[in-house]
């Protein structure tokens, strides 16, 4: 279940955090709390997938190749694929649904290798909930039938604090701090090039080439797209090892050390429990150019 929405000025550029902070000495293996979670880096996909299988008995694991792990739902109408060797802009995760156990592809969501595991698991959890609680999920209007995408996005954003910016004739929406957004591409009539139905993205300001991106095909249910979007509308804190947080993200996040916990609870990136202490603030300014290099 997604935690209830919290009101905070932590990401509001009208209330900037101090430009400098005193941070305890942290090693790459130190478990830390990173706020906001959509800038925490990808985390550990292997551990995230392992925990997904432990928590969801309706999915079965299959590993057809060393570089690929699949989750197959018991209804045989959905699967999740993890590419262990993907890097950068390459799709690491693919979530797909089919019209029937022997039917064709109905919709698909793809997440690049930089995407935080919390975003992927939010989509996987939404799909699992719909499949497990609606036996005839293929006919469930909330999951399978299309509603106006822009209306669904406007509804999801109506309580965002601070308000998001809307540009591009209503098909681009961006967080006030510029670290995330959603794009609803417009299919040009008569064009042979098919565009995604929605693109959700996030990343540090000033480093467009380091953004993570999730693409959803046009038939993808709004509930699936909004599950990913909610992770940047109201980003929760995430757990990481200090060395997992990308260098260019550091000036734009809050980091706090926490007592060491089992690797399964820290390496993949869980949301921070509400009882955990708030981490120290970081600057809202981008990291100096050159802190990260574009992959060739």
- Judged against a pLDDT cut of 50, whether residue 294 lies above it is answered with no
- Taking only the tens place, the pLDDT of each residue in 107-130 is 999 999 999 999 999 999 999 999
Q: Among 194-203, 235-244, 281-290, which is the least confidently predicted range?
A: 281-290
SS3 state at 288: coil
What is the model's pLDDT at position 282?
43
C-alpha closest to that of 41 among 272, 250, 226 = 250
Residue 296 CA to residue 290 CA, distance in Å, equals 15
Q: What is the pLDDT of residue 278?
A: 41
> What separation in angstroms does the CA of 42 have from each of 10, 45, 111, 122?
21, 8, 10, 14
Q: Please enumerate in sequence order all residues whose Cβ is within 8 A of that of 171, keeping only pairs 6 or more positions apart, or say none.
A: 150, 183, 184, 185, 186
How much of the chain, in percent, has pLDDT values that exceed 70? 74
Phi, psi of 147 (to 5 degrees): -125, 165
The sheet with strand 59-65 has its strands ordered as: 59-65, 68-73, 78-83, 91-98, 105-112, 212-216, 198-202, 180-183, 172-174, 165-167
Specify the pTM.
Answer: 0.80
Top pLDDT among 181 and 272 is at: 181
Q: Are 124 and 80 in contact (CB under 8 A)?
A: yes
What's the rounded Cα separation, in Å, for the pair 115 and 89? Answer: 9
- In 21-132, where do the E strands start and end? 31-35, 59-65, 68-73, 78-83, 91-98, 105-112
Residue 165 confidence class, pLDDT cut points 50, 70, 90 = very high
Eight-state DSSP code of residue 170: T
Q: For residue range 257-287, list pLDDT tens digits in order.
A: 876 555 544 444 556 554 444 444 344 344 4
In tens, the pLDDT along 74-101 reads: 999 999 999 999 999 999 999 999 999 9
Least confident of 101-105, 186-190, 229-233, 262-266: 262-266
pLDDT band for position 26 (cuts 50, 70, 90): confident
| Residue-level pLDDT at 217 | 96
Alpha-carbon 70 to chain mean position: 19
């Amino acid at each position: 279940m997604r935690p209830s929405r919290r009101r905070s000025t932590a990401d509001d550029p009208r209330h900037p955090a101090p430009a400098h902070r005193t941070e305890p000495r942290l090693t790459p293996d130190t478990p830390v709390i990173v706020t906001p979670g959509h800038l925490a880096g990808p985390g550990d996909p292997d551990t995230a997938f392992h925990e997904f299988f432990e928590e969801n008995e309706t999915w079965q694991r299959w590993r057809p190749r060393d570089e690929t792990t699949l989750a197959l739902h018991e209804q045989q109408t959905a699967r999740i694929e993890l590419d262990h060797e993907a890097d950068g802009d390459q799709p690491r995760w693919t979530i797909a649904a089919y019209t029937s156990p022997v039917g064709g592809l109905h919709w698909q969501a793809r997440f690049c290798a930089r995407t935080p595991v919390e975003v992927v698991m939010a989509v996987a959890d939404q799909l699992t909930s719909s499949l497990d609680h609606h036996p005839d999920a293929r006919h469930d209007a909330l999951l399978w039938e299309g509603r106006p995408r822009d209306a669904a996005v406007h509804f999801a954003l109506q309580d965002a604090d601070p308000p998001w910016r809307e540009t591009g004739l209503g098909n681009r929406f961006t967080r006030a701090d510029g670290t995330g957004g959603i794009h609803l591409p417009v299919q040009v009539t008569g064009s042979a090039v098919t565009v995604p139905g929605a693109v959700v993205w996030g990343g540090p300001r000033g480093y467009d080439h380091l953004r993570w991106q999730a693409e959803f095909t046009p038939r993808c249910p709004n509930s699936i797209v909004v599950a990913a979007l909610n992770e940047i509308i109201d980003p929760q804190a995430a757990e990481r090892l200090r060395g997992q947080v990308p260098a260019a993200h550091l000036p734009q996040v809050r980091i706090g050390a926490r007592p060491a916990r089992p690797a399964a609870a820290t390496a993949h990136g869980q949301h921070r429990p509400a009882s955990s202490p708030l981490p120290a603030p970081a600057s809202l300014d981008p990291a100096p150019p050159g802190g990260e290099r574009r992959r060739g």
